[in-house]
Structure 1
Amino acid sequence: MGIGKVYLVGAGPGDSELITVKGVEAIKKADVILYDRLVNPRLLEYAKANCELIYCGKLPTRHFMKQDEINQTLLEKALAGFTVVRLKGGDPSVFGRVGEEAEVLADYNVNFEIVPGITSGIAAPLYAGIPVTHRDYAGSFAMVTAHDKSKNGKPDIDWEGLARGVQTIAFYMGISNLEHICDNLILNGKSPNTPVIVIRWGTWSRQQCVEGTLSSIVQKVRDENIENPAITLVGDIVATREKTKWFEKKPLFGQQILLARGSADEKSMAADLIDKGADVIEFPKWEIKEKALDRAVKQKVTSYRRILFKTTEAVTHFFNLLRKNKIDIRHVQAKLYCLQPSSIIAIENKGLIAQSADNMDTDGSLLIIGGKIKNEQRWKLDYKYGVHDYASVYETSIDERFDMVIKRSIDDAAITTILLPSSDAVHMYMKKAEHYELSSHLNDPLISVICLNKQAFQTATMYGLKPTLMVENINPFTQASVNVMAKTQ
């Protein structure tokens, strides 16, 4: 195996949809990903099933991996022939130390590409409703590090040039040096009444904004206990926020939701929740592996009169297996039925017609297609559908690579809501609560526990939980269900 390649990728500021297309494509082909603390964990879901995930995040008080260790790991993995992605929050060239990493790779003749990303100094203000330039307020903009390699950790910059020559200034990670920043800007010509906004966790639903002036912002930030990660924006442009803020108006803004999934077959509602403004942590993460088509089923597949798909995954893998086994779909004569509406759509997208299982007749041999199931689940199918064959075309397991990702996400969040979509999800939550350090969340009076059907509610009650409420038909979302969720904040 020859030398591999390294992609130094900007992941954007937090919102997972702000990564570039090129960044996503790099993640998809990676054998190894080294990711930072501020990278949205949802981006790692693009990775291959066998991709190695290495957390190298930094906190103000401790580093999981020092920069020298990161550099060495990039080198070792690339020299071993792997495709490596270094996934960095924001843009890798804006205080992201990408230059240092690229120099090390160049010294060893390792091929690399740098993929730009959206930097938080622009994105966080925009999600707070503030453009960093505006014809009426600001025609210049600067991005400034609020800490550097100086002995006292204070930024060593041209304060006079900054104060007098730049109309909008974004300071990165400046909470510990905020008083030093404000004092120096005032001493060098900025008015004490210059508007300032500090934006913590910009572009996330947990985003917090504290507004003030150069003379008042330090005390306001202390009063609100604001910590990094944060962007401090200084300039008259801050005054535009009241009219143009938009992100904070989303119905579920501020909701930090822990979404339990009882199985890989449960449809995730995370995308809908995020679109409404929430942060969502899904757990556990499920891994799906395709299985070979059973020899007996393969020989008989064209002779069945009825085929019932239990899940949408079953549809996907069944048709994949037909193709792999060189079985022409035109030779499959069965009527097609599905348990889930999404499965019907998946079949229709292949140019075929399917019906709901509720409309299935009883005429002819039946093949049921799904994932690997337990004996008691087989018994239920026998009871409901009578004589049939069963084809297990995939199997699921918990993807333990995401354990660190999930735990880190929970540590960074302040959970407001726990969603339990099914009875299986309740069982899974109780089984994994201690592993993910979630036990204390169940009886926290500040956290709403919402069950999404009667079975989930009954199971939660059986465990001694006290669900805040039960909301049925929350997915697909109706305005009524969104209103219920928003009221739990």
Structure 2
Amino acid sequence: MQMGKVYLVGAGPGDSELITVKGMEAIKKAEVILYDRLVNPRLLDYAKADCELIYCGKLPNRHFMKQEEINRTLLEKALAGFTVVRLKGGDPSVFGRVGEEAEVLAEQNVAYEIVPGITSGIAAPLYAGIPVTHRDYAGSFAMVTAHDKSKNGKPDIDWEGLARGVQTIAFYMGVSNLEHICENLIFHGKAPDTPVIVIRWGTWSRQESVVGTLSSIVEKVREGNIENPAITLVGDIVATREKIKWFEKKPLFGQQLLYVRGCAEEESFAHEYLNQGADVIEFPKWEVNKGSLDVKVRKKLPAYKRMLFMSTEAATNFFKLLKSYKIDIRQLQARLFCKQSTTIKLLEDKGFLSGLADELDSEGSLLIIGSNDHSEKNWKLDYKYGEHDYAGVYQASIDKRYESIIRRSIEDASISAILFSTSDSVHTFMKQAAHYGVALQSFAQTTDIICLNKQAWLTATNYGLNPRMQDENNKLYVEDFSQNSKNLIVSSKTY
């Protein structure tokens, strides 16, 4: 058996788009991924459908997998011939124990690569509006762990060197030892009025920042109930924050949205909310497996005058099936239509022009291409599109690998709004909520329920969820949950 290979990959600090290109390529080809708690679960969406996902994250009061078990698992999977990715938050070499893991692999002659990542000690301050160096404030920068192997858990470091020789200091996971840090920096020469900022959940929409000085920050952090994960930045550079902070000005900063998809065919607009600064948890995750093309449909392919793709997955799997059946795409004579705009882009990339389903006329035979268990009943399709043939080219089901991931994401978040785009999404939520640890009564008291169309609103109302719907201008508002105490536009897109 050929030995596998291990990629020790830095996932970045939280924002899923901060991963490197090389890191993303490793995820896409992985057969096994071991991932930490602070890795954004959205990165796992890029893994193969059959990739094994192993959680080995740590919480403040317990470990899911000890380091020795992680090392052993990396070895076992690689020796079994798998391509393995060890996905670590931030950069793997900055307090990420990558050296220990690489040593174990090297001792057993297992091939491996180390892929750097963006470290939170730089990224979190930048997302809070603070560069760690600046010609007017700081020409030196240090990264320091706030925990080490000392018996009492207090960092045993060169305090005098830090206090007198370094202008900007980033302490990792330092909340529990903050008082110890401040006392030692002051004792060894730092001025008590030296600016300090503690940044929790840096680069996420849930990011919180508390600003003070070495003499005041401990009390302010206690008052704000700030806990790890957090970066503590010490230095005059903190003064730049008010001028150049940018992330917190995004319209949906501070919003943590639960975006419900009722079936795989529903187009996801989660990326739009992410771009506006929100954290988005998609619920549930859907698994798509390739189906087949009926023999009768295959024989009629050249004769169809119109084809309607119900989803991007339908288009993707349709062309995969053509390839597997060795059907030349030049046989297709039909005009192509899509229910989703993203499918139009996919077809353009394949060299096909297409239009939206609203532009579909009634001239010529029609083939509708969707899932085997399409959410719209046959009579609805007949009513909408008239006589047609139907090809179910993929099978969709809830991806069980993500159940524990979604539960942990919901536990870590403070959900400000739940978004429903279809009736199916409401039904799915009501059936699955308890399974994912969502207590409906508590959510109803603290969470906005927003429906993107009337059908979803009616279904949610029938369940007694007290939903709100977009206004006449197709705008949605999240009320009372903004950290800026004002209404924020969630989306101006017509669904």
Q: Which amino acid aligns with 2:390?
A: Y
Residues 1:310 and 2:303 are matched in the alignment: no
CA distance in 1, matches of 2:13, 2:472: 33
Offset of residue 404 of structure 1: 1.2
Taking a change above 3 Å as real, the CA distance of residues 448 and 384 of structure 1, as seen in their structure-2 partners, is closer
SS in 2 for 1:302: helix
Tell me which residue corresponds to 2:493: none
Deviation digits for residues 348-397 of structure 1, max 9, x if unmatched? 44333334444444343322211113697123323444433211111111
Tell me which residue corresponds to 1:86: 86
Tell me which residue corresponds to 1:169: 169
Tell me which residue corresponds to 1:289: 289
Larger mean Cα displacement after TM superposition, 130-139 or 337-346: 337-346
Q: Tell me, yes or no, if the aligned pair for 1:251 and 1:482 is still in contact at 8 Å.
A: no
Number of aligned pairs? 484
CA distance in 1, matches of 2:443, 2:415: 12
CA distance in 1, matches of 2:62, 2:146: 18
Tell me which residue corresponds to 1:66: 66
SS in 1 for 2:231: strand
SS in 1 for 2:446: coil
SS in 1 for 2:377: helix
Q: Tell me, yes or no, if the aligned pair for 1:289 and 1:394 is still in contact at 8 Å.
A: yes
Q: Tell me the TM-score normalized by structure 2.
A: 0.93
Taking a change above 3 Å as real, the CA distance of residues 214 and 329 of structure 1, as seen in their structure-2 partners, is same
Tell me which residue corresponds to 1:420: 420
Tell me which residue corresponds to 1:9: 9
Unaligned runs of at least 5 residues, structure 1: none
CA distance in 1, matches of 2:376, 2:235: 66
Taking a change above 3 Å as real, the CA distance of residues 217 and 319 of structure 1, as seen in their structure-2 partners, is same
CA distance in 1, matches of 2:256, 2:166: 37
Equivalent residues in 2 for 1:462-473, closer than 5 Å? 462-467=462-467, 469-471=468-470
Tell me which residue corresponds to 1:46: 46
SS in 1 for 2:367: strand
Q: Tell me, yes or no, if the aligned pair for 1:198 and 1:210 is still in contact at 8 Å.
A: yes
Q: Which amino acid aligns with 2:470?
A: V
Q: Tell me, yes or no, if the aligned pair for 1:293 and 1:391 is still in contact at 8 Å.
A: yes
Taking a change above 3 Å as real, the CA distance of residues 334 and 444 of structure 1, as seen in their structure-2 partners, is closer
Tell me which residue corresponds to 2:366: 366
CA distance in 1, matches of 2:356, 2:239: 55
Larger mean Cα displacement after TM superposition, 416-425 or 45-54: 416-425
Residues 1:136 and 2:136 are matched in the alignment: yes
CA distance in 2, matches of 1:3, 1:233: 43
Unaligned runs of at least 5 residues, structure 2: 489-495
Tell me which residue corresponds to 2:406: 406
Q: Which amino acid aligns with 1:191?
A: A
Deviation digits for residues 322-370 of structure 1, max 9, x if unmatched? 2332222222222333333443443344333334444444343322211
Larger mean Cα displacement after TM superposition, 320-329 or 20-29: 320-329
SS in 2 for 1:288: strand
Q: Which amino acid aligns with 1:422?
A: T
Deviation digits for residues 55-80 of structure 1, max 9, x if unmatched? 01101100011111111111111111
Residues 1:319 and 2:325 are matched in the alignment: no
CA distance in 2, matches of 1:426, 1:238: 45
Deviation digits for residues 211-259 of structure 1, max 9, x if unmatched? 1000000000000000000000001111111111111011100001111
Give RMSD over aligned pairs: 2.0
Offset of residue 317 of structure 1: 2.1
SS in 1 for 2:38: coil
Q: Tell me, yes or no, if the aligned pair for 2:260 and 2:419 is still in contact at 8 Å.
A: yes
Tell me which residue corresponds to 2:491: none
Equivalent residues in 2 for 1:428-467, closer than 5 Å? 428-440=428-440, 443-467=443-467
CA distance in 2, matches of 1:156, 1:388: 74
CA distance in 2, matches of 1:226, 1:89: 20
